[in-house]
Amino acid sequence: MDQNKQTEIASLGEFGLIDTLTRDFPLRNSESVKGVGDDAAILRFGEEDVLVTTDMLLEGVHFDLRYVPLKHLGYKAAVVNFSDVYAMNGTPKQITVGIGASSRFTVEHLEELYSGIRLACEVYGVDLVGGDTCASASGLVISVTCIGTARKEDVVTRDGAKPTDLICVSGDLGAAYMGLQLLERENSVAASHGPGFQPDFAGKEYILERQLKPEARRDIVAALREAGVRPTSMMDVSDGLSSELLHICKDSDTGCRVYEDRIPIDYQTACMAEEFNLNLVTAAMNGGEDYELLFTVPLVDKEKVEKIKGITMIGYVTKPELGCALVSRDGSEIPIRAQGWNAFTSSQGNPE
């Protein structure tokens, strides 16, 4: 290893790092339509486009087995990949799963993990077609690759938003983040009370489920198709609304205005924010892991979209020189900055 110049990974951030590492990889094969830089890669083998996306989940970084059951973890590991394919307006068809497990895991543990993967495959009609299972020196590693299909003309990338397009989001935001806060608090309370402590999650089932068992919004993709609406850009909200808005605006060369009072938030999320004394809008804008769909539609489709349940119009696309801003309740504009979950900065506190 060259010891001359060494740059901390955290100093680049996740996206800066990916840019740095992948910029010198030209696409050589005619089948490779689009490489790094969207929810999924686009490959063309026949009549339909083939979408490929991959995600890695690491114990101690992405999940904590003290409060995430293995079955839920398996379900989530699969579903977040399906979500990436839906976010391209495609249908997930196959997954491969790579597992690294240390000797503290038994066959029964892995069967529990796979029972969650199996349930996700059943619910979403996806086939497990391959994988790799090996020992790890420490902890659990899960790597999932998902393959999906879409008709060529249906594929939606991040770079098609146009000024005056409406910005829409499905479901509600911030709940998964609040669910994580709740799990972490109950876990630390449990630790101080010793065995026998039973956490009380009554009235908080929704935010817990949003964190532990997220769903991919294939219903929204189907409803848009049925209504004859093709989004001009789309992605799923995994890192946080702020981060995803900036991705779409950067790739589409636009700005945006999003209205604070239009951001959909569930009442359980709001209650927890108050209980935890957390800023609700910050949680909704930057919490991440909601796996809702963020997309833009032409203004002419406004009425069609309004008729679809579970979609909220939160703002509109502008020319790039106007930048990206959140319009607060009092009408003032706050520049949107990416404060999404950053795997590298969040890792600084982890033991080596």
Q: Which of residues 98-157 bind its own copies (CB under 8 A)?
A: 98-112, 114, 118, 121, 125-139, 141, 143, 145, 147, 149
Tell me which residues in 6-35 interact with its own copies (CB under 8 A): 6-12, 14, 17-18, 20-22, 24-29, 31-32, 34-35
| One residue of 154, 247, 271, 347 binding its own copies per CB under 8 A | 347
Alpha carbons 271 and 126: distance in angstroms, whole number: 36
By C-beta, is 117 or 246 nearer to its own copies? 117
Answer yes or no whether residue 202 interacts with its own copies by CB under 8 A. Answer: no
Helices (H), 143-217: 175-193, 205-212
* Distance from chain centroid for Cα 8: 25
* Distance from chain centroid for Cα 62: 12
**Residue positions counted in the chain:** 352
Question: Could you report how far apart the first and last alpha carbons of the chain are, in Å?
Answer: 19
Answer yes or no whether residue 222 interacts with its own copies by CB under 8 A. Answer: no
By C-beta, is 24 or 330 nearer to its own copies? 24
Contact assessment for residue 143 and residue 56, using Cβ atoms and an 8 Å cutoff = yes
Tell me which residues in 60-89 interact with its own copies (CB under 8 A): 60-62, 69-70
Instruction: Tell me the closest approach of the beta carbon of residue 24 to its own copies, in angstroms.
Output: 6
Which residue in the block uniquely carries the two structure tokens 């609040």? 178
Instruction: Tell me the closest approach of the beta carbon of residue 138 to its own copies, in angstroms.
Output: 5
Residues 34-53 as x/- pattern, contact with its own copies by CB under 8 A:
xxx---xx-x-xxxx-x-xx
CB atoms inside a 10 Å sphere around CB 270 = 17
Based on the number of CB atoms within 10 Å of its own CB, is 96 exposed (0-12), middle (13-18) or buried (19 or more)? Answer: middle
Contact assessment for residue 234 and residue 156, using Cβ atoms and an 8 Å cutoff = yes
By C-beta, is 125 or 203 nearer to its own copies? 125
Instruction: Tell me the closest approach of the beta carbon of residue 164 to its own copies, in angstroms.
Output: 31
By C-beta, is 25 or 267 nearer to its own copies? 25
Q: What are phi and psi of 340, to 5 degrees?
A: -60, 165
Alpha carbons 143 and 268: distance in angstroms, whole number: 32
Instruction: Tell me the closest approach of the beta carbon of residue 83 to its own copies, in angstroms.
Output: 14
Instruction: Tell me the closest approach of the beta carbon of residue 12 to its own copies, in angstroms.
Output: 6
By C-beta, is 114 or 177 nearer to its own copies? 114
Size of the site for its own copies (CB under 8 A): 97
* Distance from chain centroid for Cα 149: 19
By C-beta, is 118 or 185 nearer to its own copies? 118
Write the single-letter amino acid at 191: A
Alpha carbons 171 and 151: distance in angstroms, whole number: 26
Instruction: Tell me the closest approach of the beta carbon of residue 44 to its own copies, in angstroms.
Output: 9
By C-beta, is 153 or 321 nearer to its own copies? 153
Alpha carbons 76 and 301: distance in angstroms, whole number: 33
Instruction: Tell me the closest approach of the beta carbon of residue 336 to its own copies, in angstroms.
Output: 24
By C-beta, is 98 or 323 nearer to its own copies? 98
